[in-house]
Amino acid sequence: MIKRQINLVRLAAALIAQLLISTASLMSASDAATCVECPAGRVWNLNEPGCTKCPQGRCTDVGQCARCPPGTSQAKPGQRDCQPCPVGMHQPASGQAGCTACPAGEEAPSRGAINCTECRPGFNKSESGAQLCGACPAGSYSDELASLECQPCPAGTFANWTGASACVVCPAGRDQKHEGGLDCQACRRGFYKAYPAVDDCKLCQPGYYNRAEGSLGCLACPAGYYCPRPWVDPSPVRPCPYEPIQCRGPFLAADKSSNACQATASLYAVLSASAIVSVIVGLAVAGYVRAWRRRRRRRAGLVDASGAGAADFSDSMTAAAASATAGNERMPLIKGGDGGPTESSYNLLHRIIHVQKPLVFPLSVVYT
């Protein structure tokens, strides 16, 4: 009896499962023997007899609501199919009502994406959204995954295409002085660059030149030429113009062999005459002084040994000196070596005597 009841329960469960999964029908109110299939997007509701719409994120075409798989979504209830995520959006979970835009640095290049992919080198994406990664413009590059922005090519490099993952070094004979270069410029005349490098073109060294743009090296100035500037042709060497030395005055003359001024015979004659005159004047002055000293000694012997009248003699000497000073124009002049007057014998003798600091004496006596 118990075994029979178990079999009946199993049979009833199988009938109910078959009803829910395969047919999803309901009986017509007018004819209980006729079954009606629920339309797409609806299922049989056991709690409230009738077909009800599948909720958001689910769909059905077999009599039951199923969760939308990853990469798809369904925003409207009662739909038969799930919609794949559009380009630029993704959905990693199931049973979702919508898809999510990819973040900055990532993209979804095809529909139905479950996950976003990173921007590849040479591309970038600075903001989140459904847009795809954009190629780096010419003159810039991106060498990393998921780049948010592209970098300008550094000086000495270039990139003349879009989507560059690296910039190219300028070749020999060309350089680029600025960032973000689309191409390299040829070295100017007078400059060169021997190898591919980021360096600028270099100026030719003194004594070298080149006249072509984009040169890899410089040329040495040929013999008999000189290079005033490295970007112009060599110039022939010209002999220096002859400019004889200029000698002033009658006492100097130009010597062509040494190109220097040499003393003339006139200069030697003048120097010789000057030396002779100097000797004569010296001898005359010395003789004059010796004569004066002899006279002074003779006159000094006439003075009283007791010293009487010394004061009167001193006063007379002072007066005589003053008288001689007032009338020094009467003193004989000593002639110079060239025959011209130089100074009075009084003045000359006066300097000699005062250098030796002698006692005051009456010059009138010396004159006489």
CA distance 209 to 193: 13
Residue 36: predicted pLDDT? 54
**Is 177 part of any domain?**
no
Specify the DSSP element, H or E, that contains 177: none
Domain interval for residue 99: 35-114
**pLDDT tens column, 11-26:** 554 455 454 444 444 4
Residue 89: predicted pLDDT? 95
The CATH number that applies at residue 78 is 2.10.50
Residue 291: predicted pLDDT? 87
**Is 149 part of any domain?**
no
**Is 265 part of any domain?**
no
**Is 180 part of any domain?**
no
The structure tokens listed for 3 are 């075994």
Strand partners, 160: none
Residue 305: predicted pLDDT? 46
Helix ranges (H only) for the chain are 2-18, 265-300, 310-326, 345-356, 363-367
**Is 78 part of any domain?**
yes
**Is 142 part of any domain?**
no
Which of 99, 114, 129 is a domain's end point? Answer: 114
**pLDDT tens column, 88-116:** 999 999 989 999 999 999 999 999 999 99
Torsion sign across C-alpha atoms 348, 354, 358, 362: positive
Domain count, the chain: 2
The model's pTM: 0.49
The structure tokens listed for 177 are 């002085």
Determine what percent of the chain falls in helix, strand and coil, rounding each to the nearest 5.
25, 20, 55
Which of 114, 143, 169 is a domain's end point? Answer: 114
Residue 142: predicted pLDDT? 97
**Is 14 part of any domain?**
no
State how beta strands 185-186 and 191-192 pair. Answer: unpaired
Neighbour-count burial of 159, counting CB atoms closer than 10 A to its CB (0-12 exposed, 13-18 middle, 19+ buried): buried
Residue 327: predicted pLDDT? 45
Which of 93, 114, 135 is a domain's end point? Answer: 114
Residue 270: predicted pLDDT? 84
Q: Under DSSP, is residue 42 helix (H, G, I), strand (E, B) or coil?
A: strand
The structure tokens listed for 234 are 């060599």
**Is 92 part of any domain?**
yes
What does the pLDDT profile of the chain (368 residues) look like in tens digits? Answer: 444 444 554 555 445 545 444 444 443 344 434 455 666 555 555 566 666 666 655 555 555 678 889 999 988 887 888 999 999 999 999 989 999 999 999 999 999 999 999 999 999 999 999 999 999 999 999 999 999 999 999 999 999 999 999 999 999 999 999 999 999 999 999 999 999 999 999 999 999 999 999 999 999 999 989 898 999 999 998 877 666 677 777 777 777 777 778 788 887 888 888 889 899 998 889 888 888 888 888 888 765 444 444 445 445 444 444 444 444 444 444 444 444 444 444 454 444 444 444 433 343 333 33
Residue 344 DSSP symbol: E
